[in-house]
Structure 1
Amino acid sequence: MSRFLRAPSRTMITVAPTGAESSRADVPDLPTTPEEIAATAAACERAGAAMVHIHVRDEQHRPTLDLPRVRDTLAAVREACGLVVQLSTGGSVHDPLDARLAVLEAAPDSCSLTLGTVNFGDDVFMNPWGFVVDLYRETRARGIVPEFEVFDLGQLTTLRRLLDREGLPAGGRVHVDLVTGVPGGMPGTADTVVACVAALPTEVTSWSATGIGRSHLTVLAATLAAGGHVRVGMEDVLVWARGPEGPVPVRSNTDLVERAARVATELQRPPMDPADAADLLGLEAARAAVA
């Protein structure tokens, strides 16, 4: 575990601006159109983000995996900024597995790859072993870097099994994101972060963590202290602080990135830029592997 306690000199901040759970009616400031997501990504890059994690919405602001809409959104983001573009293959909990797999045809730089099925509030987020393997093989064939998303500690055993059976990802780097605080998954606590870091397979070259809802700041601080990178954004948290008159809502994704950047800088680990993030994740080597 000691190699994970030697913190990298800079922090990769990922912004997850939209997600698939919140409605535009309930969260009017949520970016949902390709133009809004692109503008948000550009503003977050200026604030210190290095990667953007994208969920796509249709013209009625509903989650969609429609491939032309996915391509349009990714193209708009790439035209607006230089962030590493990571596409969600989770979609919403209601999307079929084949549609989730097909979004890789949009050719993102990176994609999420969740390592197991988990209760997700009142729903179930399905990720059976066969789908995990198919998705992983497809990332290798296309030169896309997977981010292994872990919702519970046991899913790190699945990562161990996957690497043993299938080998390393395209590019040779293994990046894990610990997703904490989802109702049904592991709790968003410092103890959770420490336990997961201790259980990371030795092939892991970098890791980050996400704190959902009220666990956001706890996980942010614990992750930076333990040498990890961070994910923030309105997909994960909609409350900025507890105010005297009740919760203070998040105004924008940029505010969340700026706060993470301030904390990271105070801890002597300022944000890295997108080029450094691409190097951390092995994007060039991944592309070369299928060229």
Structure 2
Amino acid sequence: MFAVPPDALLITVAPTGAETAKADCPQLPTTLEELVQTGRECEAAGAAMIHVHVRDADHQPTLDLSLLTDTVQALKEATDLIVQLSSGGSVHDPLDARLKVLDAQPDSCSLTMGTTNFGDDVFSNPWPFVCELYQLSQERQVVPEFELFDLGQAHALARLIDTFGLPYGGRVHCDFVMGVPGGMPGTADALVAGLATLPPHVTSWSATGIGRTTLPVALAALSKGGHLRVGMEDVVTLSRGVPVESNAQLVDRAASLGMLAQRTPMSPREARDLLGVRAR
């Protein structure tokens, strides 16, 4: 039994990502201090989970294990948020480095279910890598969030679970990442089609709209009873020509949309119950 009210809304914040340059967006949180402050502000605004990419001293994406570990530890000490590390890194990171992300002992990790064209680049997730990362997450007791960039990846999710069993914690949570050039479009029709392809193992799902698809995807997800991921990894403007000032601003907007749909942001404790994440 989930100890979560049926109208509860999981809001995940993705504050940084690996694509936007600090020079182009000075308000992007790239230092440890900025990430911790962002975590505190977003938890207060209604977020229950934080999806983390780490930057180095030059504000460049990195999978340096010491920086990942320090970031996870600092966020756990400063907040009650579920700390989810990206296992995707940037599109240029090698597969072996991405596997080592779990050494930083996050609560959760992202696990993308297939290779996707990502603008002019390729986000590589070959099947053997997906299987290895999944089995490693089971061994380390890290709860995966299955990222779906296209409908075939929902079919791959069924194949993965049928082959290797349920993830640690017994829940299956996936996130539709929509609006990436090369992936599924960020439309209500695409979301409905994606939901129809989900395997019966799925216990909860969220949706992320990239760029100008942020609001259409959020509204469609709420209308279908799903959860939301927002943050400056995915969008840096509130509307045309109006820059986002902080990640908390996006979380607050998501919470307000949720209230219109009679959904209440869940606490990190409720989110742990929903996702099967172990207590600290």
Q: Would you say same fold, with TM above 0.5?
A: yes
Q: Tell whether the 8 Å contact from 1:34 to 1:77 is kept in structure 2 after alignment.
A: no
Residue 274 of structure 2 corresponds to: 280
Alignment-derived partner of residue 164 in structure 2: 166
The AA in structure 1 aligned to 2:56 is D
Deviation digits for residues 150-171 of structure 1 (CA, Å, limit 9, x no counterpart): 0001111110110111111011
Residue number in structure 1 paired with 2:115: 117
Which residue does the alignment assign to 2:244?
250
TM-score by length of structure 1 reads 0.93
**2: CA distance between counterparts of 1:9 and 1:175?**
17
For the residue of structure 1 that corresponds to 2:109, the secondary structure is strand
> How much does 1:198 deviate?
1.2
Within 5 Å, give how 1:9-48 maps onto structure 2.
9-48=7-46
Query: Counterparts of 1:221-236 in structure 2 under 5 Å?
Result: 221-236=219-234
Shift in Å, 1:75: 1.4
- The 8 Å contact of residues 150 and 184 in structure 2, kept in 1 or not, is answered as yes
The answer to whether the 8 Å contact 1:113/1:136 transfers is yes
Amino acid at match of 2:245: R
Q: Distance in 1 between matches of 2:180 and 2:43?
A: 26
**Runs (4+) off by over 3 Å:** none
Alignment of 1:99-178 (within 5 A): 99-178=97-176
CA deviations over 1:168-193 (Å, ceiling 9, x no partner)? 10111000000000000000000111
Q: Which residue is 2:184 aligned to?
A: 186
Q: Secondary structure at the match of 2:264?
A: coil
Aligned-residue offset at 1:8:
3.4
Q: CA deviation at 1:284?
A: 2.5
Aligned-residue Cα RMSD (Å) equals 1.1
Instruction: Tell me the TM-score normalized by structure 2.
Output: 0.97
Question: Letter of the aligned partner of 2:250 in structure 1?
Answer: L
Distance 2:250 2:136 in 1: 33
Please give the alpha-carbon distance, in whole angstroms, between the structure 2 residues aligned to 1:87 and 1:270. Answer: 25
1 CA distance for matches of 2:34 and 2:137? 27
Aligned to 1:66: 64
2:107–2:278 contact (8 Å) kept in structure 1: no
SS at match of 1:283: coil
Amino acid at match of 2:191: V
Q: What is the DSSP-based 3-state SS (H/G/I as helix, E as strand, rest coil) of the residue aligned with 1:148?
A: strand
Q: 2:256 aligns with which of 256, 259, 262?
A: 262
Write the distance in 2 (CA, Å) between the matches of 1:142 and 1:239: 37
**SS, match of residue 205 in structure 2:** strand
Distance 2:136 2:229 in 1: 25
TM-superposed CA distance for 1:33, in Å, is 0.7
Q: Is 110-119 or 72-81 further displaced after alignment?
A: 72-81
Counterpart of 1:273 in structure 2: which amino acid?
A: S
Q: 2:55 is paired with a residue of what secondary structure? A: coil
Q: Does 1:210 align with 2:204?
A: no
Question: Is the 1:147–1:175 Cα contact (8 Å) retained in structure 2?
Answer: yes
Cross-structure match for 1:3: none
CA drift of 1:51 comes to 0.2
Cα deviation digits, residues 170-219 of structure 1 (max 9, x gap): 11100000000000000000011111111110010000000000000000
Which whole-Å CA distance do the structure 1 matches of 2:160 and 2:82 have between them?
25
- Residue 83 of structure 2 aligns to a residue whose secondary structure is strand
In structure 2, list runs of 5 or more residues that go unmatched.
none
CA displacement at 1:29 relative to structure 2: 0.3
CA contact (8 A) 2:48 2:271 kept: yes
Matched length: 276
Confirm whether residue 199 of structure 1 aligns to residue 197 of structure 2. yes
- Alignment-mate amino acid for residue 256 of structure 1: L
3-state SS, counterpart of residue 151 of structure 2: coil
Q: Whole-Å Cα distance in 1 between the matches of residues 28 and 6 of structure 2?
A: 32
